[in-house]
A and B are shown apart, each in its own frame.
Chain A
Amino acid sequence: QVQVVESGGGVVQPGRSLRLSCAASGFTFSTYGMHWVRQAPGKGLEWVAVISNDGSKKHYEDSVKGRFTISRDNSKNTLYVQMNSLRAEDTAVYYCAKGGPRAEIIDYWGQGTLVIVSS
């Protein structure tokens, strides 16, 4: 069955960096686009970034452009997001999500990893 499992969350000081990973299994990873979506405590869902199946195309939400970089390693079935210059407002649960036959259609979600940006 499809599984995506996030890791790498934790507490980090403002201005520092963190890299999240998402290990995928149960499907042909290299065939599908992948997303990061976040949810601040008690708030709604906010899309963060997407990467195409081969890594050639990427899109970002405006508030993370220039600070976050989405990437993937198809040989390891793993999705990443490198988060630099972190701010308090980046505090959230970060979900890895699998795109469908059309990459923009999210069909499976991971359980999330919590990132807390605080001094």
Chain B
Amino acid sequence: DIQMTQSPSSLSASVGDRVTITCRSSQDISKYLAWLQQKPGKAPKSLIFGASNLQSGVPSRFSGSGSGTDFSLTISSLQPEDFATYYCQQYNFYPLTFGQGTRLEIK
């Protein structure tokens, strides 16, 4: 199975900050990577697919990049509603696998 490793595991930031979360896969997954957001007690929300394509309705302050084994999610200017846990997920091979999550907290 492909292992997905995110860093950092947690991150403190302030409203207006620019933050970047990284994700590394144990094998080349081309651009078959998604990013998800999950708020406490809520279902995940899909943000990005194909490493850099925003899902419908996702604000443009979210962006993704990378290919192969190294990927990143950037939030250009943090808003209060962005404080959540973020997961990367590969979908190049079954079983689909997720990173362990990055908890983004308010500083």
Contacts and interface: CB of A to CB of B under 8 A. Distances in A.
A116 to B, nearest CB: 16
Contacts of A45: 36, 38, 44, 87, 89, 98, 101
Band of interface residues on B? 20 to 34
A16 B34 CA distance: 35
- Main secondary structure, interface of A, reads strand
Interface stretch (A7-15, A23-31, A72-80, A106-114): A106-114
A52 B92 CA distance: 16
Given A45-B36, A45-B87, A45-B89, A108 B46 contact: yes
Interface string A78-119: 000000000000000001000010101111111110000000
Contact of B43 (A62, A100, A110): A110
A46 interface: yes
Given A45-B44, A104-B32, A62 B89 contact: no
Interface residues of A, number: 23
B44 A104 contact: no
A61 B34 contact: no
Given A47-B95, A47-B96, A59-B95, A105 B44 contact: no
A44 interface: yes
